[in-house]
Amino acid sequence: MEQITQLKNVLSYIKQSFVGKDEITDLLGISLVARENLFLLGPPGTAKSAIVRLLSECLEGGRNFEYLLTRFTEPNELFGPFDIRKLKEGELVTNTEGMLPEASLVFLDEIFNANSAILNSLLLALNEKLFRRGKETRKLPALMFVGASNLLPEDEALNALLDRFLLRVKCDYVHPDRLQEVLLAGWNMERGTGEDRPVITPEAIMALQAASRSIDLASIRKQYIDVIHSLRNTGIKVSDRHAVKLQHLIAASALLCNRQQAILSDLWVLKYIWDTEEQMEILAGIINSVIENSTDEQAHPQAFYNSVPQPDEVMKEVLLLRDTWNTPQLSFEAQNVIKDKLRYVQTRCDWIQNPEQKRFIQQEIEGLWQKMLQLN
């Protein structure tokens, strides 16, 4: 399909413009094709808004809506004010010109600042792609919503917002060794005119979204079901609704590789469904152990990119499991969850390349297993 080539050209252009952001860029492409929402977690200055802004500039004929939410953001600021002329006639009609209900791509920064006044409208827009105000209901043309925040929500009421973003991606500072590349790319981008920027139309994206629904998932459905059970057994929540929607991401991965059938490595997208930062390594361990035996040459480029774990992250997970195990009066079910998680962390530890770091973490893991055996 010509549309696949167009989207790949756009994604390649974004990767050239932002050093070290290939993972985020590819996941934005997956989200667009799947028509699912994506959440970016990271500190200020990590190019979260800039990447999304450049993607929107590559949408020819599309409208972008970007807004920084505060605790005082009102519905009018997102969805538009009431039409005064219609209001005089006794009709409550929203003037949505230039606002969220008319945008092809929506970026909401500091999404968890959303207050109760806009929360219900946002949840409906994110989940159903609908705008409803009084008697007024309309479908939204949004191809995708992207949310961003420096922190994950602490208020349980805001967890519903995070739940509406199927993919969650960590956006961090680029490795110091690549700082020179970052400086050069940033300098060139600021000097550039954008005349040679590749583009794709919203209509082409919608054609890809329709095509992804025809991808054959039959060959990997059993493995997919097994993965969902494994995730649930380790305490990672995957609702039935999410389990259905995640198939869209798998299909998008296959389509972007010019395939009509999903293969085992397409399950790589499941590494990005975490609810907490502590779950990142667990998910990576589970998914990589499933797809590592896949030898298909048509695998998505990101499928095996992040297979080597970070020692600091693995150690952090081991210490968290140790502290949780030491919790007084831990239930039998909770003990089993911790043991399952530790098995996956242990598998993940085997892939650490530095022998000293690997040995140290393995000793910590063995010590925790000894504590567990003593209790039994």
- Mean pLDDT, residues 331-360: 82
Is there a single domain that holds both residue 220 and residue 347? no
Is there a single domain that holds both residue 82 and residue 158? yes
24 domain residue, yes or no: yes
Q: What is the pLDDT of residues 190-234, one digit of tens each?
A: 776 555 789 999 999 999 999 999 999 999 999 999 999 999 988
Is there a single domain that holds both residue 99 and residue 183? yes
Is there a single domain that holds both residue 43 and residue 117? yes
- In DSSP terms, which residues pair with 200 in a beta bridge? 59
CA distances from 259 to 214, 216, 232, 256, 271 (A): 11, 9, 29, 7, 21
Please identify, among 156, 191, 226, the residue that sits at the C-terminal boundary of a domain.
Answer: 191
| CA 111 and chain centroid, separation | 14
What is the per-residue pLDDT for 148?
96
Q: Using an 8 Å Cβ cutoff, are 231 and 240 in contact?
A: no
Which of 266, 286, 256, 289 lies closest to 274, judged by CA?
286
d(CA 128, CA 343): 38
Please identify, among 245, 261, 291, the residue that sits at the C-terminal boundary of a domain.
Answer: 291
Is residue 370 within a helix (H) or strand (E), and if so which, with residue range?
A: helix 355-375
HSE-up of 209 (CA within 13 Å, CB side)?
Answer: 15
What is the per-residue pLDDT for 243?
96
18 domain residue, yes or no: yes
Domain, as residue range, for 222:
213-291
pLDDT exceeding 70 applies to what percent of the chain?
93
Query: Which amino acid makes up residue 365?
Result: I
Q: Give the global pTM.
A: 0.82
* Full DSSP string of 135-156: TEEEE---SEEEEEESS---SG
Is there a single domain that holds both residue 324 and residue 265? no
75 domain residue, yes or no: yes
Q: What is the pLDDT of residues 6-36, one digit of tens each?
A: 999 999 999 989 988 999 999 999 999 999 9
What is the per-residue pLDDT for 282?
85
198 domain residue, yes or no: no
HSE-up of 182 (CA within 13 Å, CB side)?
Answer: 12
Is there a single domain that holds both residue 28 and residue 69? yes
Give 376's pLDDT tier (boundaries 50, 70, 90).
low
- Mean pLDDT, residues 320-344: 84
Is there a single domain that holds both residue 110 and residue 165? yes
Most confident of 128-137, 265-274, 285-294: 265-274
Query: Both tokens of residue 179?
Result: 């700082």
261 domain residue, yes or no: yes
What is the per-residue pLDDT for 284?
86
Q: How many CB atoms lie within 10 A of CB 363?
A: 10
Is there a single domain that holds both residue 108 and residue 231? no
Is there a single domain that holds both residue 266 and residue 357? no
Is there a single domain that holds both residue 156 and residue 66? yes
Give 310's pLDDT tier (boundaries 50, 70, 90).
confident
- In DSSP terms, which residues pair with 131 in a beta bridge? 138
What is the per-residue pLDDT for 216?
97
Which range, of 54-63, 131-140, 346-355, averages the lowest pLDDT?
346-355
Query: Which amino acid makes up residue 277?
Result: E
Which of 112, 125, 99 lies closest to 159, judged by CA?
112
Please identify, among 291, 323, 344, the residue that sits at the C-terminal boundary of a domain.
Answer: 291
Q: How many CB atoms lie within 10 A of CB 53?
A: 14
315 domain residue, yes or no: yes
Query: Both tokens of residue 195?
Result: 């005349």
* Residue 146 predicted with pLDDT over 70: yes
Is residue 64 within a helix (H) or strand (E), and if so which, with residue range?
A: strand 64-68
**CATH code: domain of residue 31:** 3.40.50.300
72 domain residue, yes or no: yes
Is there a single domain that holds both residue 315 and residue 287? no
Is there a single domain that holds both residue 285 and residue 315? no
Which range, of 34-48, 84-98, 123-137, 248-262, averages the lowest pLDDT?
84-98
The answer for residues whose C-beta is within 8 angstroms of residue 273's C-beta and 6 or more apart is: 166, 167, 168, 236, 238, 242, 246, 283
**Number of folded domains that form the chain:** 3
Which of 152, 182, 150 lies closest to 165, judged by CA?
152
360 domain residue, yes or no: yes
Q: Beta strand 130-133 with 105-109: parallel, antiparallel or unpaired?
A: unpaired
Q: How many CB atoms lie within 10 A of CB 322?
A: 16
**Greater confidence, 297 or 159?**
159
What is the per-residue pLDDT for 230?
92
Specify burial of residue 294 (Cβ count, 10 A radius: 0-12, 13-18, 19+): middle
d(CA 321, CA 340): 11
